[in-house]
Homo-oligomer: A and B are copies of this chain.
Amino acid sequence: MGPQALEDLVTALARLPGIGRKTAQRLALFVLKSPPGEASALAEAIQGARERIGHCTLCYNLTESDQPLCRVCRDEGRDRQVICVVEEASDALALERSDLMRGTYHVLGGALSPLDGIGPDDLRITELLERVRRDGVREVILAHNASAEGEATAEYIHQRLDSMTRVTRLARGLPAGSDLDLADRTTLAHALQGRTTF
């Protein structure tokens, strides 16, 4: 139908998560209509990100390739004896945006999921235990997704950390601005179980 180069671009874009062929075609046609400089900028940003971003050797968060430690781990003001354990780098980014975390991170690289064949050895759990042991960590905050996989991973890490350090987890309950009558049963159960004195 269309030119081959257009088909190629649509196919490449449709590999992105959440982008179907229809959206991919819309994006491709937008790229064709945009000024040449902008299309080049996008192409270079994709290439550049792949080349210039690596993983922090301490916490496995994203970092510039020429920097072995990420911004958080380089920051002298951050408390290295508090480690917030997250599944993915995007979770660390979300917490950084909130500007609430004064500790450091540890990016596991996923969650335990036997159905997908992801076991403890596929996550950076040994590295976490090593950090806790070596750096005299005071607190490990488990900041997993509120999913079955997240729960299972938190449970597993809690067991492995045993009594090495204090282990906490994020609170469960009603999200800010939500209607109680629209909350699901599990959320209500967490909100009730975790109720605090007024």
Identify the A interface with B (CB < 8 A).
1-6, 8-9, 11-13, 15-19, 23, 25-32, 34, 36, 38-53, 62-64, 70-71, 88-90, 93, 96-97
Contacts and interface: CB of A to CB of B under 8 A. Distances in A.
A41 to B, nearest CB: 6
Contacts of A42: 12-13, 15-16, 46
Contacts of A71: 1-3
Contacts of A28: 49
Nearest to A49: B9
A42 to B, nearest CB: 4
Give how many copies assemble into the complex: 2
A90 B31 CA distance: 13
Contacts of A51: 5
B38 A27 contact: no
Given A1-B96, A27-B17, A38-B15, A9 B63 contact: no
A29 B9 CA distance: 19
Given A2-B89, A3-B52, A5-B51, 8 more contacts: A1-B71, A2-B93, A2-B96, A3-B53, A5-B48, A5-B52, A12-B45, A16-B42
Given A16-B30, A25-B90, A31-B50, A45 B1 contact: no
Top 3 nearest A-B pairs (CB, nearest first) are: A12-B45, A5-B52, A9-B49
Q: Which of A6, A25, A64: most chain B CB closer than 10 A?
A: A6
B30 A39 contact: no
B6 A62 contact: yes
A121 B17 CA distance: 40
Contacts of A62: 2-3, 6, 32
Contacts of A3: 52-53, 62-64, 70-71
Contact of A5 (B34, B64, B89, B93): B64
